[in-house]
Structure 1
Amino acid sequence: MTNRGAAGVDQDIEKQWVALPAGIRTQVDGFVLQDRLMQAIKLVWEAGRVQGVGLREAQVMVHLRYLHFGDRVARTPDDPIDLDSLATLAHGIRGRVVAIEAVWDGDTVHGWFVNLLAITDEPVGQKGLATIYWSAAERALDGADTGGLHHPSAAAATRAGTALAEHLGVPFHFASPDTPDDDAPRWRP
């Protein structure tokens, strides 16, 4: 891509989109309408390589298709993080819940996000309760105070995890709420 500004880049992307075979464009649009972002990007990237479409161009192209379809995209629903839903999920876990833990994770699609986990013993393990992405966290917080945390996912996870842990009478652990760190120390009894 050249550095000619957004309008020029959008025109280049549009030309690359139109140059893709109709069948590929139809399949990409199908993936977008089903909110299957990674499959759409992969298809554009693989099909467009011969005409010089790189990964970044494929991402922008698919993003523009999402914008094109807007509300018609069947978005993947957010995991619920209200106390009633989390408590119901926690009570349905096999084994005794001994802690609630928030841990960072990340990927190229969502950036950093937080997984809210129930830690169990007998059997020893963990069960995912919710994945809290930035956009879902902003919706859940709805303008509420983040408690000084900069990442909305950390604030929403701390709020939901603390409430659930208090409800269950177990500790809440979040080793690195201020800084995304997927290598932060995990909870130990």
Structure 2
Amino acid sequence: MTDISPGQWWESLPPEVRDEVDGHVLRDARLPAVLVVFEVCRARGLGLHEAQLVVHERYVRHRDRIARTSDSPLDLESLVARAASAPGRVVAIEAVWDGDTVHDWFVLLLAVTAGPAGEHPLATIYRDSAVRHLGDEDPGPLHPSAFAADRAGRALAARLSVPFRFAGPDTPGDEAPGRLRAHG
């Protein structure tokens, strides 16, 4: 940690690097923006957390200009309609972690079907969309995506009278136990 503010780190970046970071921010690519700031400034003592704070300030500055990734609907009626469109009989609802270099960790909400067996995406729950969906509600120790997915998945499973499973909701990652598999 340094005594330099996020704004001072920002001002210390060369103009072409600032343009690159803002380009990532404007297309809602948080992680690539953080990596650019971190890689350019880490030799001068900037840590990963401070790089995140620099990028956060850019998100605040460009708030209304950011081309946000569309939020998947998480209301019960939309999820019921999406589950009804899955081919085959829905036998379970499952939430699983996934991630990429644009959004970091997020949760996929899936309908597991039989006849034909398969997994069908119902919603992709990114951190930012989960925070917007939850409003002022505190997710506690859970990642906001996990909290929103758990709530929506349980409600949907209850409505459809099928089991719900979210292996490893406490920690983002791909090390959670295997997914459910539908048979026949």
Same-fold status (TM-score > 0.5)? yes
Alignment equivalent of 2:41, drawn from 35, 48, 64: 48
Give yes or no for the alignment of 1:19 onto 2:38: no
* Rg larger in structure: 1
Q: Deviations over 1:14-61 (max 9, x none)?
A: 343223221111121121122111121122233335655443332222
Give yes or no for the alignment of 1:81 onto 2:77: no
Task: Report deviation, 1:129.
Answer: 1.6
Alignment equivalent of 2:65, drawn from 35, 58, 72: 72
Task: Report deviation, 1:85.
Answer: 1.9
Residue in 1 that maps onto 2:153? 161
Residue correspondences, number? 179
Residue in 2 that maps onto 1:34? 27
SS of the counterpart of 1:9?
coil
Alignment equivalent of 2:90, drawn from 92, 97, 106: 97
Task: Report deviation, 1:122.
Answer: 4.2
Task: Report deviation, 1:119.
Answer: 0.9
Amino acid at match of 1:26: D
CA distance in 1, matches of 2:57, 2:71: 22
CA distance in 2, matches of 1:22, 1:142: 35
CA distance in 2, matches of 1:85, 1:19: 47
Task: Report deviation, 1:118.
Answer: 0.9
CA distance in 1, matches of 2:85, 2:102: 30
Q: Point out which structure has higher relative CO (alpha carbons under 8 A, 6+ apart).
A: 2
Task: Report deviation, 1:144.
Answer: 7.7
1:120-131 to 2 correspondences below 5 Å: 120-131=113-124
My pick for the range that moved more, 107-116 or 56-65, is 107-116
CA distance in 1, matches of 2:21, 2:48: 15
Matched-pair identity in %: 51
What TM-score do the two structures reach when normalised by structure 1? 0.67
Q: Deviations over 1:89-126 (max 9, x none)?
A: 22333443221123456799988764321112344332
Q: Deviations over 1:110-161 (max 9, x none)?
A: 8876432111234433223223356544544556899xx8646555434422
Alignment equivalent of 2:163, drawn from 165, 171, 174: 171
Which runs of 5 or more structure 2 residues have no equivalent in the other structure?
A: none
What TM-score do the two structures reach when normalised by structure 2? 0.69
